[in-house]
Structure 1
Amino acid sequence: MNADDNSIGLSRRKMLAGLGAIGVASAGAGLGTTAYFSDTETFQDNSLTAGTLDMSVTAEIVAADDYWTGQGVVGLSETADGDIVTGIQVDDVKPGDWAIICFDIEVGDNPGYVQVRTENFTETGGANPGPEQDVEGDDDNDADLGEFLLTTVWQDYDDASGDKTGLSTLDPVFNNASNSLSINYEPSNVGGVVDSDAHYTNAREADGILNQGYLIRDNNGDLLPINDVGNEGVYSFCLLLEVPFQVGNVIQGDTLGFDLVFETEQVRHNDDPFNNSAPVNTTPS
């Protein structure tokens, strides 16, 4: 081997060591630069909040006969909104007495179907003075007030009238109730034109309709969603209570009581509201 060969020559051991160093360097470079394709997308701040359905019912005595008006009941107003409230309580009721109670039903936040029910309907014969005994017989003391107290539901009331002339449209369901009275009593001085064949419901008949639950409907008989675009969340109806002059002594001392319960259920996904009158979200008054 000549001098020039020695100047550039490499032994086998030196060459292998050099190649080894290059291999290590290459491996290190590969660890630093190789990566999978990747991407990241994020949906943050996810939240689900349950909706609300809240009902309140305001009952106001808007008109009454002179006696009840003198007792200060006209303008009496109570709102049931979560707590049970005491309804109308009147003593010394006589033939000719009457009052109109209007109910404003308000459903908030979502549309709801509304059902009205009666509970705890009770009657007693109460005191049994001589004039009543003359009519019923000495040994009888029947509870008669539920039969002779007109209890009719009206679809609207004109507040400007201040009396029964503000009533104009009978609720068709109650108007079609069967007649259990021997005489078809009717209120005097009502307002709008009412069919001459109309039957004015007594308290027992009204309870017969309401105790199974009465779903509020529109004039076409369709379920009425309260608080949809059409009716702005409030529905009103009025109840006329009246003891006609013709009743006479048969009711002396008799008593009558009942609870009136309002319920609402959501409209959405609800093809069978109240499912045979199952109570939901009740607001008794």
Structure 2
Amino acid sequence: MWQGQHRWPTNRTMSKKLELTRRRVLGGLGTIGVASAVAGLGTSAYLSDEESFEDNTITAGTLDMQVTASVEAANDYWAQQTNLGELEATADGEAVTGLQVDDVKPGDWGIICFDIDIGDNPGYVQVRTENLESSENGYTEPEPTSGNETNMTGDFNDPGVSDGAGELQDKILATVWNDFGGGDRTALSGLDGTTNVDGGSQAEAWDPSRDEGGVVDSDTHYTTLQEAYDTYSTGVTIRDGAGDPLAIEDDGENFDPEFCLLLEIPAEVGNEIQGDSLSFDLVFEAEQTRNNDSPFST
């Protein structure tokens, strides 16, 4: 027999306790659920590794050519008119004037040498002529030597002829030489075949026996300025002794190739050049030698 009083919980009281208990249980489960989610994020990474190459750089090379033109020698009259040592100009990016000569007469001559500096990267070099302009200008008689002055016909160009061209380009002899030892024309050697009309063997040195038209013998015929201009107008690549394009580079021995241009007016030329003048451009172009089996598309 029970002693005292003991009350069983009513349904209302039981319900309230059960409700409180569910909240606690659900809250606890919620806490466990969040903890599980966090733990899951922390354990989902794969094994990994990472290596890197930083600051990779590619720089294109340069090909920088300079060409210096200098008047190395001239006949006494030209040499007395100016200081030949001052007649030097270097082209490096911008065009420069290489030669200006006034009052030329039969018997005058000059040698202009071109020194080519290609820099560190080897390259092939092509020489090209452009913009030949010939002017008759005013002249004093008796310039014409043939033809009909009244009808303006013949092998000369009077001022009245439409093109107004002079004859100077057909009377000046222009030849390219591989070497100049200093002094006068006899120190020139290695006539370049591009300025030998007859082709054949190349003269070892300048020959004073040539005639007004530049003929020396059956193997050597010096070109006129017009003929040389026409040959170089499409571009001529500088070549070595074997005829292959010459790879020009600074090989540590200050190797700078040079070629020389001889301009001369034979003493036999007469009055037909009086008052005439001309101008032309020489253009030097360089291309890399590496991976270049056909420089200038030759």
TM-score (norm 2): 0.71
Note the alpha carbon deviations across 1:218-243, whole angstroms, 9 max, x for none.
11111112116498562210000000
Please give the secondary structure, in 1, of the residue aligned with 2:229: helix
The correspondence of residues 1-285 of structure 1 with structure 2, limited to 5 A, is 36-75=46-85, 76-133=87-144, 135-136=145-146, 139=149, 142=157, 143-158=166-181, 161-176=182-197, 188=208, 197-227=219-249, 229=251, 234-275=256-297
Deviation at 1:209, TM superposition (A): 0.7
Please give the secondary structure, in 2, of the residue aligned with 1:57: strand
The 8 Å contact of residues 120 and 250 in structure 2, kept in 1 or not, is answered as no
Which structure is larger by alpha-carbon Rg, 1 or 2? 2
The 8 Å contact of residues 250 and 256 in structure 2, kept in 1 or not, is answered as no
The 8 Å contact of residues 145 and 251 in structure 1, kept in 2 or not, is answered as yes
> 1:213 & 1:68 partners in 2: Cα distance?
30
The 8 Å contact of residues 198 and 219 in structure 2, kept in 1 or not, is answered as no
Identity of aligned residues (%): 56
Once superposed, what is the RMSD of the aligned Cα atoms?
3.2
Matched residue type, 1:157: F
* Pairs aligned (count): 246
> 2:174 & 2:197 partners in 1: Cα distance?
13
Partner in structure 2 of residue 8 of structure 1: none
Deviation at 1:90, TM superposition (A): 1.2
Deviation at 1:46, TM superposition (A): 0.7
Structure 1: unaligned runs, 5 residues or longer: 1-19, 179-185, 277-285
**Pair 1:254–1:34, CA change in 2 (3 A):** closer
Deviation at 1:33, TM superposition (A): 7.6
**Pair 1:260–1:231, CA change in 2 (3 A):** farther
The 8 Å contact of residues 98 and 240 in structure 1, kept in 2 or not, is answered as yes
Structure 2: unaligned runs, 5 residues or longer: 1-28, 158-165, 200-205, 211-215
Deviation at 1:51, TM superposition (A): 0.8
**Pair 1:248–1:89, CA change in 2 (3 A):** same
> 1:151 & 1:132 partners in 2: Cα distance?
22
Deviation at 1:187, TM superposition (A): 5.5
Partner in structure 1 of residue 10 of structure 2: none
> 2:238 & 2:268 partners in 1: Cα distance?
32
Deviation at 1:202, TM superposition (A): 0.7
Deviation at 1:64, TM superposition (A): 0.3
Deviation at 1:165, TM superposition (A): 2.2
**Pair 1:123–1:231, CA change in 2 (3 A):** farther
Deviation at 1:41, TM superposition (A): 2.0
The 8 Å contact of residues 172 and 224 in structure 2, kept in 1 or not, is answered as yes
The 8 Å contact of residues 107 and 233 in structure 1, kept in 2 or not, is answered as no
